[in-house]
Amino acid sequence: MVNTNFSIVDYLVFAFLLITSSMIGILFWFKSRNKPSNAEFLTGNRQLGLFPVTMSLVASFMSTNTLLGLPAEVYQVGTQFSLQLIGIVVAVVLAAEVFMPIYYRMALLSVNEYLAKRFNAPYIRMAGTVGFLLSTTPYMAVVLYGPALALSSVTPLSIPTSILVVGVICTFYTTIGGIKAVIWTDVLQCILMFLGVIMVIIQGVIEVGGVAEVWNINERGDRLKFFNMRFDPYNHDNFWNVVIGTTITWSAAYCVTQTQVQRYCSMGSAAKAKRTLYWNLPGLLILAILAILCGMVIYAKYHACDPITLGIIERHDQLMPYFVMDTLSKYPGLPGLFVACVFSGSLSTLSSGFNALAAITWEDIVKPRIKITSERQALNITKLIAMSYGLLAIVMSFGVGNAGTVLQASLALTGSMMGPMFALFIIGIFYPRATSLASLIGFISGISVSLVLSVGSLIIPRPKVSLPTTIDSCAAELIQELLIKPNQLAKPSFIAYYDNPDGFGRVFHISYLLMSAIGLIISLIVTIIFSYCIGKPDDHIDGSLLSPTAKYIFSFNKKQQTYCPSDQKDAFDTNNKSDIFESTNSYKITAV
């Protein structure tokens, strides 16, 4: 059986992460105590450094779900998920070239300010606010509970202890230190995340007998999949589902999610914000590749003695912790480093989420409804909001533990929100004919459809899919240690390939990768259709809220500063086509 004992060195390494994170929070509280303001707490007065924000963007999005989930994905269905790299590149380019310039010129604090100005309708802004709050708050509980669950069976850290220690520490430094504490703790946590996955890869290569052997074992086990071009909406091991699903999910995260937008819009200039996004790209790609490699070495190690079939562990996302305790526990400090790596992914996502939730709640809900007498009062309220979200996440994480389906429901809710939220901003930036009421109907329609599909997948769960593994090479001593006979070993609860769904229930078995895509497409189609049926397009659109592409397609004229609907497009003077504006200044445009 795997050794679950921590040495004193392991505990010290893990404690170093928690203590250092707390000290960073105290440091930035001390530095800002004489100039308290919400601008300092939430944006760092828009003077954040290039290096820490770049590292923070990597750390805050590459959560524990990535560190533990990607290796499990490779172990189960192969390396096809590596094509998410395409989605990462598209997302960053789209954020840097289209969305960020518009946001930065607005000097916004809440990304939903864009919706309020573009559609001139308070309920559209509230739709974006509610969507973000409903998708992010339960996800914070999942992020807190996930690593505690994965580590509990293979380390001496119990689930309640992990939740309380990590939750309280994260809430503490986020509440007192603000965004600067969040960003600089992210730097530390990002470094630990890289060290952790590199450590696993090196040890895995040593255990298996070299890089070539790792590759050969994965090839023989049919894990090397990169361009499976078979279109199959039910399985997530093909090119189309991975590329489409991850491109939309990553693009939504980087282009319209408060946690990411708040960081790159807090830079000193738009040029620095763009550089931050592009410098963040190599870090994302490298960390994603390293996580894939972790899955390959773990499969190479256990392909012929599967710990899940043996019943040693119950979940695939426990494979990484199991591997570390199985192979590295003989080196004091390395298991502690890995635990610090896993919880770094959790801490970075949590702190970013608490800060973003506080910003959205303050700017969109609290500030317009109460009278503030001083800057200090506003800051104290914002800090109280951030602390409340931290405590709420801790309480909800225990609820996740008491009802296992809550974990899946929370993730389903998040996925259901991402596509429609992205669609709402796409419509605003690229389609000036959209009406506010039609946009709201499209948003609600997209959420409704994707949420029904997600919840339906919980009620009518799909079979667990995994490529085969064996226990043919397990040592006899291990079998004896488990005190069971070979014919009594736990049977894997999955099938090799999900290929023949039957009945109406098949609609609920669509790959989880496509949930965001379905919500996006439904929202876009409904919005465009209803824009021709309900309401009237705004005839006074601020051109700086639209992309240059939209201005060109929908015929904005620089000299006249007018928007010409497509049915009047021929009335344009063709000599003015070259004058379609590219100005970055705000100005008003009226419909012809």
Per-residue pLDDT of the chain (592 residues; tens, 9 = 90+): 556 677 888 889 888 888 998 999 899 888 887 777 888 888 888 888 889 899 888 887 777 767 888 888 888 888 888 888 999 999 999 999 999 999 999 888 899 999 999 888 889 999 999 989 988 888 888 888 877 877 776 677 788 888 888 889 999 999 998 888 989 998 988 898 899 899 999 999 999 989 999 999 999 888 888 888 888 888 777 888 889 988 998 899 899 999 889 889 888 889 999 999 999 999 989 988 999 999 999 999 998 888 888 878 877 878 888 898 888 888 888 888 888 888 888 888 888 889 999 999 999 999 888 888 888 888 889 999 999 999 999 988 887 655 444 445 555 667 778 899 999 999 999 988 888 999 999 999 999 998 888 878 777 777 777 777 887 777 777 666 665 545 555 555 555 555 556 667 778 888 878 888 999 999 999 999 998 888 777 667 777 888 887 777 776 544 434 444 444 444 334 433 333 333 334 334 333 3
CB neighbour burial string for 104-121, b if at least 16 within 10 angstroms, e if fewer: bebebbbbbbbbbbbbeb
Using alpha carbons, list the distances in angstroms from residue 57 to 70, 272, 283, 535.
19, 14, 9, 39
Nearest to 280 by CA among 99, 59, 97, 108: 59
Token digits for 352? 């970013």
Residue type (1 letter), 11: Y
| Distance (Å, whole) CA 293 – CA 81 | 12
- What radius of gyration do the chain's Cα atoms show? 25
Where does 434-502 show beta strands of DSSP type E? Answer: 464-465, 494-495
Domains in the chain: ranges and CATH: 8-30+49-402+463-497 (1.20.1730.10), 403-462+498-538 (no CATH), 540-591 (no CATH)
H-type helices in 484-576, by residue range? 515-531, 548-553
Strands 562-563, 556-557: pairing is: antiparallel
176, 383 in Cβ contact below 8 A?
yes
Nearest to 232 by CA among 523, 456, 524, 513: 513
**Per-residue pLDDT, 406:** 44
400, 407 in Cβ contact below 8 A?
yes
